[in-house]
Amino acid sequence: MSSTPARPAGSNTINPFLMTDDAARIIDFVIEVFGATDVPEARTVDTDGLILHSELRIGDSVITVADRKPDWPFTPGFIQVYVDDVEGTLARAVGLGARIVTRPTDFFGDTFSRFADPSGNLWWVYAHVPQEQTWDADGTDASTWNGSAEDAGADDRDAAEADWSSFTSPELEYIHESLVEAMASLRDPRLDR
């Protein structure tokens, strides 16, 4: 199961799908904020005039955006995107009506931030900042770990899962608290009309 499955050219193994109100607005938002490229031949409009399918290419990935039908439930998207410039990305997003959820924070060799777009989707925005990292043998400094869960071993994973405070830091606390707060504030944009 570890091999990459066959897929059509231009598709990745995982391709996110946003069902949102006013898909055309979100398409323009993603193009402006992330420099996405619209794939016009993929655009399909349903008989009711709503966008049934569209594709945007961001870097080496594709995100599909469609309009939410009037009787469909609100299902916000949660999308992670790597960018070269977190601050510039956030400035463009805020300029188009987004709300910053997590201000730029150091996160295990990345700069990390989050914003909610005008339709209530939550975007995780990262810029990779390569640096030398090592594992602190006594396990007290999570910010220096450069490995995977498999590297840690089952006993270490069980201990970490049992006690978050054993490896947290002020940065991780802030990232966690800002997510909890953002999740509690998510609501159907139609309810605000």
- 145 CB-near residues (< 8 Å, 6+ apart): 108, 133, 135, 136
Rg (CA), the chain: 19
Per-residue pLDDT of the chain (193 residues; tens, 9 = 90+): 667 778 777 777 788 999 999 999 999 999 999 999 999 999 999 999 999 999 999 998 999 999 999 999 999 999 999 999 999 999 999 999 999 999 999 988 899 999 999 999 999 999 998 876 555 555 555 554 444 444 444 454 454 455 666 667 888 888 889 988 988 888 888 887 6
Tokens, residue 144: 């220096």
Start-to-end C-alpha separation, the chain? 47
pLDDT attached to residue 132: 61
Tokens, residue 162: 């049992």
pLDDT attached to residue 161: 56
Q: Where are the domains of the chain?
A: 17-131+163-192
Whether 30 and 56 have beta carbons less than 8 Å apart is answered as yes
CATH architecture of structural domain 17-131+163-192: Roll (3.10)
pLDDT attached to residue 185: 87
Tokens, residue 156: 């270490």
DSSP class of residue 182 equals: H
pLDDT attached to residue 95: 98
* HEC-encoded secondary structure of 4-51: CCCCCCCCCCCCCEEEECCHHHHHHHHHHHHCCEECHHHCEECCCCCE
pLDDT attached to residue 15: 84
